[in-house]
Amino acid sequence: MNKRSIEGHGAIGSIVIVGGGTAGWMTAAACSRYLADGARSITLVESDEIGTVGVGEATIPPIINFNRMLDIDENAFLKATKGTFKLGIEFVNWGQQGDRYFHPFGAYGEDLHGVPFHQLWLREKHLGEPGQIADYCISAAAAAARRFGRPVRDPKSPLARLFYAFHFDAGLYAAFLRQIAERQGAKRQEGRIVKVHRHSESGDVTSVELEGGRLVEGDLFVDCSGFAGLLTAKELETPWRDWSHWLPADRAIAVPTANVGTPDPFTRSTAHGAGWQWRIPLQHRTGNGHVFSSRFMDEDAARDILLANLEGAALADPRTIRFATGRREQAWSHNVVAIGLSSGFLEPLESTSIHLIQNGIQRLLALFPGKPISPVERDEYNRGMADLFDDIRDFIILHYKATQRDDTAFWRYVRDMEIPDTLARKIDLWRLHGRVFREGADLFNVTSWVAVLLGQNIAPSAYDPVVDSLDESRVSLALRQMREGYARAAQSLPVQEEFLRRAGAWAEEPQLTGAW
């Protein structure tokens, strides 16, 4: 079918992606995989003169599905991006100074007779000392041992329940995806956009004009221009929903450092006086950054704190990134879909930035329009993205609200602030009988909420009374066997670097043999 016949049937014939980086090339790779049929064109416009943020190096497990959707070989991807595996996030100093807990991927233990595992653990804690709840998650146990392995197929093995994501160099990931996208037919157009042209009646974008006067025309535009929001914010003036009163951090200072040992299979988040510091181990370096609120700490002090808490030698000068927390009222306006930072921003505390890109892309593919664009599909897209943003917002706010720290004005502010009703209801329900309901939620399951609430010392008044229908001694025995089984399984795994080298996923030549 040629382009003329596609257009005659009201189909989108040309897609223009404005901006490169992670968001742009993720979009280009997915669109060229599923929409480039020889008649539809996909063009990405970017300028080498415009930099990208490029600090989003940690992900969450759904990224595995995105890579599989593009038929990406995982070992080749890790080698190309100098990536490592991630089993969760270690949080330091969040509940109180000196506290440490782990938010793992995967699930805690096994439910018994339909009773959630954490309720079994809560009763066991009431009766005795069951250990930390992280002892009952294979991802957490492996992380504590600094070990890694892919999940096995045997459903009886604790290793079948292992979940993971990745750390990787975001710039290398974008370059990796660019190769895939161009191989699949996407075209890159170099140039700086100087003007946006719109239809006089509909207001839809018809083309973008580059320096020198060249026009790039399209039926559908995807705004991946980052914080600039070239189409969404500057041209369409889509309203912004500000969340800085709940999430006051508005700066990040980032610096890479040399590795001081074999890379850990987890991210670390350490709370400081007016924010927190990330530590993301890659094969060739460690990513570090200090997220803070300029209302409570000046930039020089924040930089000093970051530099004083690095584990290896700095490989570059620290650079500051300024941001606003919130989202666009509509991610899709007219014929422009905002994906990535142009649609909104939530600080990287739970590594959700790349997931929001991924979800936006997959939602666009699921609701891909014809011409003219139907408001029914556009409204459904906006509803879904708004719900996802709002849900992640509440989960990130929880980390700040659920603190007992009062050593700085920042922590007193977030501890005492009013929070969204949607979050307040969840906390109130938890405080009674430890109940968490996540039906229909796109992200952050019961395990995630339990990890943060218990990890930051928000204990329920009592466990769910239904647990008392289960025999105490049998439950106690089952929990002990689970904990011992997870510990043994974790110790059976290789350290992460060994695993990566054996798999041929290390950027250097493998020094070990064997298949993993």
What helix, strand, coil percent values describe the chain, rounded to 5? 40, 20, 40
The first and second tokens of residue 339, run together, are 């994906």
Cβ neighbours of 466 (radius 10 Å) = 13
Query: Please, is 69 exposed, middle or buried when counting C-beta atoms within 10 Å of its C-beta (0-12, 13-18, 19+)?
Result: middle
Classify the C-alpha dihedral 71-75-80-86 as positive or negative: positive
Catalytically annotated residue among 3, 79, 82, 86: 86
The answer to whether the peptide bond before residue 372 is cis (omega within 30 degrees of 0) is yes
Go through 16-31 and write b for each residue having 16 or more CB atoms within 10 A of its CB, e for each that does not. Answer: bbbbbbbbbbbbbbbb
Helical axes 375-401 vs 446-455, angle rounded to 10°? 20
Residue 142 neighbours by CB distance under 10 Å: 30
Report how far residue 111's alpha carbon sits from residue 108's, in angstroms, rounded to the nearest whole number.
9
Is 86 among the catalytic positions?
yes
Both structure tokens of 270: 């350490």
Q: How far apart are CA 278 and CA 256, in angstroms?
A: 11
Answer whether 452's CB lies under 8 Å from 397's CB: no
With 0-12 / 13-18 / 19 or more C-beta atoms within 10 angstroms meaning exposed / middle / buried, residue 345 is buried
How close are the terminal C-alpha atoms of the chain, in Å? 45
Catalytic residues: 86
